[in-house]
Structure 1
Amino acid sequence: MSGFTLRLKAPATERMTLSGITPSKLSALSAHEIARLDVGIEKGGLALGDAFDISGSAGEILTIEGATPELDFIGAGLDSGTIRVVGDAGSYAGRKMAGGKLEIHGNAAHFLASGSTGGMIHVRGNAGDNLGGMIPGDRFGMLGGITVVEGNIGSRAGDKMRRGTIVVRGKTGSHTGSRMIGGTIWAEGGIGPEPGLMMRRGTLIGPSVEKLLPTFVDTGKHDLVITRVISRYLKAALGDLAPKPMPLFVQKIGGDLATIGRGEILLPAA
């Protein structure tokens, strides 16, 4: 269970990209090769060994200490093992992640888990806009895996999301689930205004919605088995991080009727 530790030498003066800096990749390289990996975005590049003190040995865990929001693409391409971030992560953390676990002991910026297909992401702080959302050039946003954010998240979470689960212990921003095609977003602190813009399918769950779009309709009170199935699945996968189960009866809001309208927002029945 040993692994490498990257400790930022000084506050970042430029953005860095840590795409592909994963336990499995580092395990296949020599110490000299690791130190020469390019993490800069400027023309001259920036060697990993110039920006970070590197210690430890090959293993299943990679720890990044002193992390700041200037470090983008942390955990991008992660397929196995664990990346532990002590501090804040920049944008695109967990980008196209396929497996393993990404732990962020701080906040995450925009496009967290974009294009991910598997694995587990746990953020102890807040996350920015477009969590699990699509970036230009992609066909879909999040495609699988589980992301848990203990704080609040920004707007447009799950934009073009197709599969996977997002659990937010706090509240979401506006337009959660925009253009959503599938998957589940569960916000324990409540869903922000106008969720589900152009939503085709998928499920949004929460105790309340700040404001609904006029193209969503109340379909009444239901006893939905699927909510209990989702709760059992999340309890097995997340343990104490799993959201509390919904009540037996839920109020189902359907939409977006501006498109095929097969999405749903589930709230506790009054």
Structure 2
Amino acid sequence: MSGLKLRFKAPATERINLAGITPSKLLALSSHEIARLNVGIEKGGVALGDAFDISGEAGETLTIEGATPAIDFVGDGLDSGTIRVVGNVGSFAARKMSGGKLEIHGDAGDYLASGSTGGMILVSGNAGDNLGGVETGERFGMLGGMAVIEGNIGARAGDKMRRGTVIVRGKTGPGAGSRMIGGTIWAEGGFGRDPGLMMRRGTLIGPSVESLLPTFVDCGKHDLVIIRVIARYLKSTLGDLAPKPMPLFVQKIGGDTATIGRGEILLPAG
């Protein structure tokens, strides 16, 4: 793959922060300036050229090889182009991403896609807690874009999520959709216990729920056209990565009635 390539020099002496290391930013810099970028978190800092072997030329694609969970903020601020990661990454990947594509061929840590507003995120492994969740001091979590996780995800996915779509091939941890304000989480492997705590709006779609909060109510069996509209849109956008369509009739669970209660959990009707 053409473009700039970074190969991580292990072992890391400190955590690495790749916030703002994006194709569009690197295009504006010389090779010398790229190598001097500070990616350390301690007082002395660490130059990009000391943490990574750098090859190729800056372009629309940035490839990171040998990635480990010691690398945080991969794809932070990504607005165009593609970042392709081979290996696992740490926390806050795709933080405030607005466009482009982030491919992680491995696992992602906590707070994936926190504050993102656009773009496409593909993770071939698992993701940690608070996927699309709100960061301390901010009003909202995920604000747009799409994330597809091939494995499982941790607790409290979509905490204060306002817009966007999360597709999970596996199962979610407990508390998915907590304090959710909008958007969609579709978990093909089902939801863990107590999804939707203090959920105001938004949609959770899946085949099963481990347990429901008592403040969610059964709204009966429905033929919801919007489910088929969402499924067609995802198929046209994601192709083979799209989730399998839900049955014609779904069971709608409304809540959280501890708040305004306009959220919904949609399950196959029995």
TM score, norm. by length of structure 1: 0.99
Q: 1:241 — aligned with what? A: 241
- Cα distance, 1:79 vs. partner? 0.3
Aligned mates of 1:196, 1:9 — CA distance in 2: 42
- Cα distance, 1:2 vs. partner? 2.6
Aligned mates of 2:58, 2:50 — CA distance in 1: 20
Give the unaligned 5+ runs of structure 1: none
Q: Which residue identity lines up with residue 89 of structure 1 in the other structure?
A: V
Q: 1:261 — aligned with what? A: 261
Count of aligned pairs: 270
Q: Residues 75-114 of structure 1 correspond to what in structure 2 (within 5 A)?
A: 75-114=75-114
Aligned mates of 1:115, 1:225 — CA distance in 2: 30
Aligned mates of 1:145, 1:101 — CA distance in 2: 10
Q: Residues 123-202 of structure 1 correspond to what in structure 2 (within 5 A)?
A: 123-202=123-202
Give RMSD over aligned pairs: 0.7
Q: Which residue identity lines up with residue 22 of structure 2 in the other structure?
A: T
Q: 2:32 — aligned with what? A: 32
Runs of 4+ in 1 over 2 A off after TM superposition: none
Q: Tell whether 2:119 aligns with 1:119.
A: yes
Q: Which residue identity lines up with residue 160 of structure 1 in the other structure?
A: K
- Cα distance, 1:11 vs. partner? 1.9
- Cα distance, 1:13 vs. partner? 2.5
Confirm or deny: 8 A CA contact 1:133 1:142 kept in the other structure. yes
- Cα distance, 1:9 vs. partner? 1.6
Confirm or deny: 8 A CA contact 1:19 1:77 kept in the other structure. yes
- Cα distance, 1:58 vs. partner? 1.9
Confirm or deny: 8 A CA contact 1:12 1:68 kept in the other structure. no
Q: Tell whether 2:38 aligns with 1:16.
A: no
Confirm or deny: 8 A CA contact 1:17 1:41 kept in the other structure. yes
Q: 1:231 — aligned with what? A: 231
TM-superposition CA deviations, 1:57-95 (whole Å, max 9, x none): 121110000000010000000000000000001100000
TM score, norm. by length of structure 2: 0.99
TM-superposition CA deviations, 1:13-64 (whole Å, max 9, x none): 3111000000111111001000000000001011000110000012111000
TM-superposition CA deviations, 1:126-176 (whole Å, max 9, x none): 000000000011110000000000000000000000000000000000000
Q: 1:72 — aligned with what? A: 72
Q: Which residue identity lines up with residue 101 of structure 2 in the other structure?
A: K
Give the unaligned 5+ runs of structure 2: none
Aligned mates of 1:99, 1:233 — CA distance in 2: 19
